[in-house]
Structures are given as structure tokens and as C-alpha cells.
Amino acid sequence: MGKATVIPFGPQHPVLPEPLHLDLVVQDETVIDCLPQIGFIHRGLEKLVEKRDYNQFIYVAERICGICAMGHSLGYAETVEELMGVEVPKRAEYLRVIWHELSRIHSHLLWLGLAADAFGFESLFMHCWRLRERVLDLFEKTTGGRVILSVVKVGGVVRDIDGAMLREIVAVLEGLEAEYATIVSTLLTDASIKNRTVGVGVISHEEALDLSMVGPFARASAVNYDCRMLGRGAYGDLSDFQPILDTQGDCYARIKVRCSEVLQSIAIIKELVAKIPTGDIAVDVKGSPADGSQASNVLEQPRGECYYYARGNGSKNLERMRMRTPTSQNLAGMVAALKGCDLADVNMIILTIDPCVSCTER
Amino acid sequence: MGYASRSPWVIHYDGSSCNGCDIEVLATLCPGFDGERFGVVNTGNPKHADIFLVTGSVNEQNIDVVRQIYDQMVEPKVVVACGICACSGGVFHDCYNVIGGVDQAIPVDVYAPGCAVRPETLIDAIVAGVKVLDEKEAALKEQKRAAKKER
Ligand code: SF4
């Protein structure tokens, strides 16, 4: 046994798109401990509720994270609507979920690409991002933005999608499905990918529960939980919703779960487009949240459950706005998975747990 | 039509951005916009890079990291502030943990605004950056020549 050494990892590191610093304690080639250090992206945006009123804050909320921007604006809007007892028109709920599921597809494709890059499969990375561009084009056509959509407001949405565009969305997704199938079959059957991922970074079912992991990473360890099954908003109108589970809990299982979730999202969008009701897309919201009123809400982000809490104080500004994002839950799981792994597997494990640092630090 | 005098390699660092600009920086180099066809390659090594793409504003924790990466880059070098956060602090300018735009830490040559910055804007900014690189290189050569004469 060699002497233990500490290897600093990050914050600027080729495999990390985001600054996260890890002190890896390594003995021979095995990681025996891992200490994460965060704070590089902390902006303190929860405190901005004191300076922005509840309508303006939605634009700050969606900039918590540019990858799940749509989800954060949706989660914030739903929380404030609950706080103020606002009933959102059905059509707006459908449109929100359609955009939210589209952003899940874009987020998952982005991540599959980065995962491919992590094991050195650069062409696969490029293919994932090429497909992702099509989803971004849909965003641009329907909202004007590519990543920050600014399309949700308290009380509804700011834009409608007309029938022709809805059909185009479905057509684009159908086109995407075929090409996506080739990418998935490469990801899941390629021998060199399997060598890198099967049995690596295992998180058992018990560990996942103990560490309260959420999202696709928990579902890869057979934790049967997905906020979408609570049936809020338009999710309640789906004919059937079953979380996608796997039992192995290794890197391979995490990739597999996320691969299938893209197809699930496509199916959800298709169903909602077929069922979407006509009507208004927003209601007027007047007044301010009552003093002492509280509301909380959970939402399934691409990376897992995100919890929102809001408290009013009778003025236009909220008293408190708090989010607990999926990655703050999953970091503990990441540290657990890293302990005992080979040094060369570190980037693979980090990427399959997919920490979103800017969500976590806000 | 002009031509680019070089294929700049870029290094990207995420200051305290929301990721929106980071994924656009990556998207600029990926199919769709394909910055790589101009030879713009993303590198993780500051010594290899000509252009430093910074997204997000600076704060107490990362200001040193930004400076260190900048210092490690070899002359001539260009800094592009990507996104309005990196230009001025943007929507977060009055957050308690935001010092301001990247120019609070290091000299910025090209400002590429937008929230998130669009890939087209980034390509423009990189092209503008190449011009600045040429100017800086010429100035460096001039300096060397002058130093030789004096000797
Ligand atoms: S400019 Fe906008 S998209 Fe870019 S990092 Fe700032 S908030 Fe995010």
C-alpha cells in the first residue's frame, strides 16, 4: 500500500463543464476519500426577492440554471400561484408541460453527449448535440430563445403555440426518434462503453434511499419516485405514467435510465399535443401574496426532484423564496460512489451523476 | 471576403454563470454552428489557448481562478466576455456575492452580450478576437524589434 496523496480535481478541468472542486484522497490508484468544495458559482439569488417583485423574480428564477431554465420558471410560477390561489387555464398547463418535456429532451441529450465525451467517444458527443440542436430550433420557433425561454409568467404563459406549430413539434420529434435510436443502441451495446460503465460507481438501493438521492440516478438504483407521478398540472391528464427504473445502480444503469426517459418525454408530448384543449393561455394576477402565507411545490427537473418554498409578507416582494435542487441531494451520493473507485473512473462517475453546480449554489 | 489569419484555440471557464452561456459556448463548437470548421478548438490547457472565453460574473471565490488561468496563457492572448453576466453582472448585478463583470478581474478585449449569448454572437466575437490577436502580435514584434535596436 502506497502513501495516501491528495489530488485536487477542478475547478477548471477539461471534463467538467462547470467549476466543482474535489480533493481526491488517493492511495495507489484507488480513491479512498473525496471532499467536495463548492462556492465558485454562488450568486445569492434567493436574496434578490427583496429587490424584485414576484412578477420580476421569475426571470431571476429561470436563470438559476440555464439547462433547466424552463423547469425553474415553471416551478417558481406554480409555487407563487399556489401562494396566491391563482387558477391557471388548462391550455397554459399543457403548453408549460410541453415546453418542460422538450427541455428535458434537450437536457438529456446534452448530458448523453457529455457522458460520451467523458469516455472519449467524441463523435457520439457531436451526434447527441446535433440532435439537440433540433429541439433548440423548436424552442427558438415557439419562444424566440434557445436556452432561456422566458415564456412562463405567474398566471399562465406569455405565448401560445398554434396548431400547425404543434404538429411540427410532433413531426420533428418523430424524425428525431429514428436517429436517436441509433445513438442509444451505440451507447448501450458498444463493448468499449460497457467496459467503462458496467459495475462502475455502484450505488445500492439502500444507499440511494439513505442518501436521499433523487431523479434518474435514484431511479437507476430502483427508487420508485418521480414527481411527475404526482400528477400535477397537465401530468394528471396523462393516460398512464410509470417512472423508468433500473436495478443495477451503476454508471451503465444511469445511462440506460436517461436514454429511455427521452423516449418517455417524446411520448408525453405527443399525447398532450393530441389532447390539448382550446382556451385562454393566462389569467390576470392582481394583488400581493398575503402576509404569512406559505406554499411549497415539487417538480421533476431533468436531474430529479426540485423543491420550492415561498412565503409572502403582504407586499409585492416575497418574504422568502427557497429552492432545493436535485444536485444538492445527489452530491452525497456522488461522494459515496467515488469512494473506492479507480482514479481513472472518477470523471465517468461524476458525469453519470451529472452535478449541476449552478443549480446547487445559486 | 477576408480570411482568418489563424485558427484560434479557445479555453472556456465558467465564472458564476447559470450554464446558459456555457452550453451556448459548447454549442458554438458543435454541429449546427460548427466553430470547429474554422479550426476553433476547445482546449483544457491554458498554455495552448489563444482566446479565453469567460461566462458569468466574478465573485470572491472564483476571481483568483480567473486570474490564474489568464496569467498562465501565453502572449498574445485575448479575453472574450460571453453573455451579459460576464460583461456587467447582468441580471445578478446586485446580488451580494457578485463583484461584477469579468473586467473587474482581468482586461477584456471583446464583449459578447446576450442572455444567453447566441452562438452567432460568439462566432462574431471570436472573429473580432482574431483581429485583436493580430494587433497584439504585431505590437509584441514591434516591442522586440525596438528592444534589439537599443541593445
Ligand atoms: S448571461 Fe444569462 S444565460 Fe448567460 S450566464 Fe448570465 S444569466 Fe445565464
Give me the average pLDDT of each 10-residue run along chain B (151 residues).
Answer: 73 82 84 80 83 86 84 87 87 82 87 87 87 85 86 74
Q: How far is CA A221 from the centre of its chain?
A: 18
Cβ–Cβ contact B48 with A under 8 A: no
Residue A25 belongs to some domain of the structure? no
Task: Give residue A15's pLDDT.
Answer: 60
Average pLDDT, integer, range A139-153: 86
Measured in degrees and rounded to the nearest 5, phi and psi for residue A129 equal -70, -25
Residue A114 belongs to some domain of the structure? yes
Task: Look at chain A and report how many structural domains it folds into.
Answer: 1
User: Given a cut of 50, is residue A327 above it in pLDDT?
Assistant: yes
Helices A122-143 and B20-29 pack at an angle, to 10 degrees, of: 120
Residue A38 belongs to some domain of the structure? no
Distance (Å, rounded) from C-alpha A307 to C-alpha A296?
Answer: 7
SS3 B78: strand
Distance (Å, rounded) from C-alpha A137 to C-alpha A111?
Answer: 18
Task: Give residue A12's pLDDT.
Answer: 65
Domain assignment of residue A233, given as a range: 43-360
Q: How many residues does chain B have?
A: 151
Q: Which of B88, B94, B115 to mutate to test the pocket of ligand 1 (most atoms within 8 A of CB)?
A: B115
Cβ–Cβ contact A136 with B under 8 A: yes
Distance (Å, rounded) from C-alpha B127 to C-alpha B23?
Answer: 20
The ipTM of this complex is 0.79
Distance B117 CA to ligand 1 centre (A): 7
Neighboring chain B residues of A60 at a CB cutoff of 8 Å: 91-92
Task: Give residue B1's pLDDT.
Answer: 42
Please, what are the domains in chain B?
4-150 (3.40.50.12280)
Residue A37 belongs to some domain of the structure? no
Average pLDDT, integer, range A152-176: 86
Task: Give residue A154's pLDDT.
Answer: 85
Residue A4 belongs to some domain of the structure? no
Distance (Å, rounded) from C-alpha A90 to C-alpha A96?
Answer: 10
Distance (Å, rounded) from C-alpha A345 to C-alpha A22?
Answer: 14
Q: What is the DSSP letter of B58?
A: B
Mutate to test the interface with B, among A146, A356, A360 (most CBs of B within 10 A): A146
The CATH code of the domain that includes A174 is 1.10.645.10
8 Å CB contact of B59 and A43? yes
Q: Sign (positive/negative) of CA torsion B115, A312, B97, A110? A: negative
Mutate to test the interface with B, among A40, A140, A149, A321 (most CBs of B within 10 A): A40
Q: And the C-alpha cell for A134?
A: 433540433
Mean of all residue pLDDT scores within chain A: 82
Q: And the C-alpha cell for B106?
A: 482581468
Instruction: Select from A133, A213, A209 the least CA-distant residue to A172.
Output: A133
Percent of chain A with pLDDT over 70: 97
Q: Which helix (H) or strand (E) holds B136?
A: helix B119-150
8 Å CB contact of A19 and B59? no
Task: Give residue A110's pLDDT.
Answer: 86
Distance (Å, rounded) from C-alpha B22 to C-alpha A18?
Answer: 8
Ligand 1 pocket by Cβ (under 6 Å): A 63, 66, 148; B 17-18, 20-21, 55-56, 83-85, 90-91, 115-116
8 Å CB contact of B23 and A147? yes
The partner residue sitting opposite A126, judged by closest CB among B24, B30, B92, is B30
- pTM over 0.90, yes/no: no
Nearest C-alpha in B relative to A37: B61
